[in-house]
Amino acid sequence: MPRDEDEGEAVSPDAPDALSQSGLISAHDPTVIECGGKYYRFCTGPGIPIAVSDDLKQWKPAGIGRVFLHSPAWTKTEVPGSRDFWAPEVVKLGGRYRIYYSVSTFGSNVSAIGLASNAALDPTSPDYDWVDEGPVIESSRESPYNCIDPAVAFDAEGDPWLAFGSFWTGIKLVKLDRGTGKLADPNAEPLAIARRLDSTDAIEGSYILPKDGMYYLFVSFDFCCRGVKSTYNIRVGRASSIRGPYLDRDGAALLRGGGTLLREGGDRYKGPGHNSVLHATDGTYYLVYHSYDARKAGLITFRVEPLKWDAEGWPYVTGVGAGPR
């Protein structure tokens, strides 16, 4: 994954509230967690790249700059041909920081979601040590889903759930064990919570945010990874139960192709998608995602901007390519 050193970027009308980024600004499928007064960013790339920031703006490598120096052996046997790990998710669960990550090859559903854990996120801590915990869930050519793009959310009882999925039959949901972070019931059939009904089935990159008694499901429609020709856009729906049913603002079911537009590409930043949401300790919500910078030949660019909420409890952002509110 390319890592571009940049002196900072001017405010763009695509997203006027976005925080100006410098340092390691290139990050695909990013997620950010706050810990000990710092922000740790994980993204797609060799060994799962890690960057750290004091202010969500200036980024530098955290420690050796990645989770794994060498790929866990099981990833090569379970998913032949896999190299970089994709779309990580980091949460604190069972007293440890747990990173879920995708093991796959492009265009295939021979995939797995792996797990590693650590007692600390600060590389200077004597307790800092990433431990491989193997696969959590896997899919094969015969599976009606694709085990990539993990995202973890907690229900009202504090139980963790794993959302995942890409193309095939869309986004699925399984319950996790509070102590181990693995599947609560390995024999349970994943629940379907969102899909596209067109010929492409182009939906992936899900993220569930619990807020004020509701669960907000964010997904990316259409296509990433095509530089300035990427058509990714971020959609959202919500439900009163983490299990769904998720409906968009117009009442359309996300299982029937619904999804209220939240962010789409503008003149400069193309194909915004694969978002997560950071709820900072100061109470601010941030939409975290990647785009492709048309002024830099389609450079994969990390983006973070305030996520706001209207009177009806729906999230919105501002600028060109933002959905209606």
The catalytic residue positions are: 29, 204
Question: How would you class 271 by CB atoms within 10 Å of its CB: exposed for 0-12, middle for 13-18, buried for 19 or more?
Answer: buried
Question: Residue 260: which H helix or E strand, with range?
Answer: strand 260-263
Q: What does the chain come to in residues?
A: 325
Question: Residue 76: which H helix or E strand, with range?
Answer: helix 73-78
Do 222 and 198 contact (CB within 8 A), yes or no? no
Strand duo 96-103 + 86-93: pairing: antiparallel
The rounded distance, in Å, linking the Cα atoms of 232 and 251 is 22
Extract the tokens encoding 190: 């994943």
The rounded distance, in Å, linking the Cα atoms of 312 and 297 is 39
The closest of 291, 311, 316 to 301, measured between CA atoms, is 291
Do 188 and 174 contact (CB within 8 A), yes or no? yes
